[in-house]
Amino acid sequence: MSLRPNGGGALGMLNGTMPRWQERVEANPVADFVDYCLRGVGQVVFMNNPVTGLLILVGMFIASTWLGTAAIIGLVVSTLVGILLGMDRALIRAGLFGFNGILVGAGLSLFLAPEWDWVVIVWIVLVSGFSSILMATLATLFATWNVPPFTLPFNFATLIFLVAALQLANGQLGPLVNPDAVGAVGAEIETTLRATETGGDVGNLEGWANAVMRGISQLFFANSLVAGSLIIVGIAVASRIAAGFALVGSAVGMLTGLALGADGVAIYNGLWGFNSFDACLAIGGVFYVLTYRSAALAVACAVATAVLFGAIAAFLVPWGLPALTLPFCFGTLAFTIMKYTTKKLIPVEPEDITTPEEHLRRHRAAKAAARDGSGAQTQPA
């Protein structure tokens, strides 16, 4: 329908949502399935692009083979369940029944133990399958306000399993789930940036670089500079604007953590960045046409999301559970549900979302058409 003018040559073809590629692979069921699985990976960062997805997966495998494998299991199962349930094939093709599954697989690979365990794999299969039911249900709920459920299906499915596992003999919980009494421990927080609890202080530049790039990788449960870099390259393949806001968002998350006086180990390892980067990217060009105002709103959303990370992490202390991407979901929902209450921002409807660049092009074309249209009235017939 909409023209997606990709630049010439092979590299240009990778740009945007790659519609010509999709038309080509649709003929082959296996290639088609692989295509929308990879698009599902990209959809975690709102990029409906298989090359983005591939680069992210490579980053995950570089961080850990088990992480990458578990992620693929979740991705494939949730996509298959979407097909089995008879969900809209266009949504499946856009990867919308894969992006929760990959996060379920990746998340459970980190919080359950041991690695490569068949019981853990069974739980990944069941929980990622359930995430597709929740995707259909939450998409229906949120359609009332014309917003998507973001990664809430992943968060709900994963947290439901993890909290239940606390009191189950076969729950396979790893050491990262660690219930504790809540304390007002503010005064005891060690805020200097360092790699581990016992490690020495690192310089500011080293600390900031790690916080920002590990923040990018932590969205996919990797803690790796290389994975972070590959993910940024993957996003940039589809959209340079999105890649820019990802970096800005991760930095804003880190700075918010520093300003609030958060634990320096958590900041160094990117825990204050991964929710904010995805929220910043979503507001800065994806759900609103990029303007100075939406760029400012994206930064505000990254700050709010970082505070939400602190809040949800502290709220979950009694059960020892991770905040996952709940901060991103609630932060981004808060800044998108309000979209019709202001005339100073230009929302992009969920069904029209492609890339920030194309949103800008469309908006400029619409403005130019409106101008020409009104101009035409003054011209002789």
Choice from 71, 267, 303, 329 touching its own copies (CB under 8 A) = 303
Q: Does 323 bind its own copies (CB under 8 A)?
A: no
> Radius of gyration (Cα) for the chain, nearest Å?
21
| CB-nearer residue toward its own copies: 116 or 145 | 145
Choice from 107, 124, 335, 359 touching its own copies (CB under 8 A) = 335
Please, which of residues 70-109 interact with its own copies by CB under 8 A? Answer: 85-88
| CB-nearer residue toward its own copies: 238 or 251 | 251
Q: Does 168 bind its own copies (CB under 8 A)?
A: yes
| CB-nearer residue toward its own copies: 25 or 152 | 152
Please, which of residues 338-367 interact with its own copies by CB under 8 A? Answer: 338, 340-345
Choice from 44, 60, 139, 298 touching its own copies (CB under 8 A) = 139
Q: At what angle do helices 118-143 and 65-84 cross, to 10 degrees?
A: 50
366 membership: H or E segment, kind and range? helix 356-378
Site string for its own copies, 212-251 (x = CB under 8 A): ----------------------------------------
Nearest CA among 58, 24, 25 for reference residue 42: 58
Min dist CB 53 to its own copies, Å, is 24
Size of interface with its own copies, in residues (CB under 8 A):
71
How would DSSP label each residue in 33-68? HHHHHHHHHHHTTT---HHHHHHHHHHHHHH-HHHH
Q: Does 185 bind its own copies (CB under 8 A)?
A: yes
Q: Does 184 bind its own copies (CB under 8 A)?
A: yes
Q: How far is residue 287's CA from residue 132's CA, in Å, rounded to a whole number?
A: 23
Count of CA atoms in the C-beta half-sphere (13 A) of 160 = 15
Min dist CB 140 to its own copies, Å, is 5
Min dist CB 151 to its own copies, Å, is 16
Tokens for 126?
Answer: 């069941």
Q: At what angle do helices 29-43 and 99-111 cross, to 10 degrees?
A: 70
| CB-nearer residue toward its own copies: 117 or 226 | 117
Min dist CB 373 to its own copies, Å, is 25
Tokens for 220?
Answer: 């996919």
| CB-nearer residue toward its own copies: 126 or 226 | 126
Min dist CB 187 to its own copies, Å, is 7
Q: Is 211 exposed, middle or buried (0-12, 13-18, 19+ CB in 10 A)?
A: buried
Please, which of residues 186-215 interact with its own copies by CB under 8 A? Answer: 186-187, 189, 191
Is the bond preceding 114 in cis, omega lying within 30 degrees of 0? Answer: yes
Min dist CB 14 to its own copies, Å, is 31
Q: Which stretch binds its own copies (CB under 8 A): 13-21, 52-60, 141-149, 372-380?
A: 141-149
Q: Taking a C-beta distance cutoff of 8 angstroms, is the pair 252, 302 a contact?
A: yes
| CB-nearer residue toward its own copies: 164 or 369 | 164
| CB-nearer residue toward its own copies: 2 or 342 | 342
Q: Taking a C-beta distance cutoff of 8 angstroms, is the pair 337, 154 a contact?
A: no
Q: Taking a C-beta distance cutoff of 8 angstroms, is the pair 230, 62 a contact?
A: yes
| CB-nearer residue toward its own copies: 18 or 324 | 324
Which of 244-275 are b and which e, b meaning 16 or more Cβ less than 10 Å from the residue's Cβ? bbbbbbbbbbbbbbbebebbbbbbbbbbbbbb
Q: Does 51 bind its own copies (CB under 8 A)?
A: no
239 CB neighbour count, 10 Å cutoff: 28
Q: Does 304 bind its own copies (CB under 8 A)?
A: yes
Nearest CA among 8, 101, 16, 97 for reference residue 50: 16
Choice from 36, 46, 61, 130 touching its own copies (CB under 8 A) = 130
Q: Does 292 bind its own copies (CB under 8 A)?
A: no
| CB-nearer residue toward its own copies: 58 or 83 | 83
Helices (H) then strands (E): counts for the chain: 17, 0
Q: Does 113 bind its own copies (CB under 8 A)?
A: no
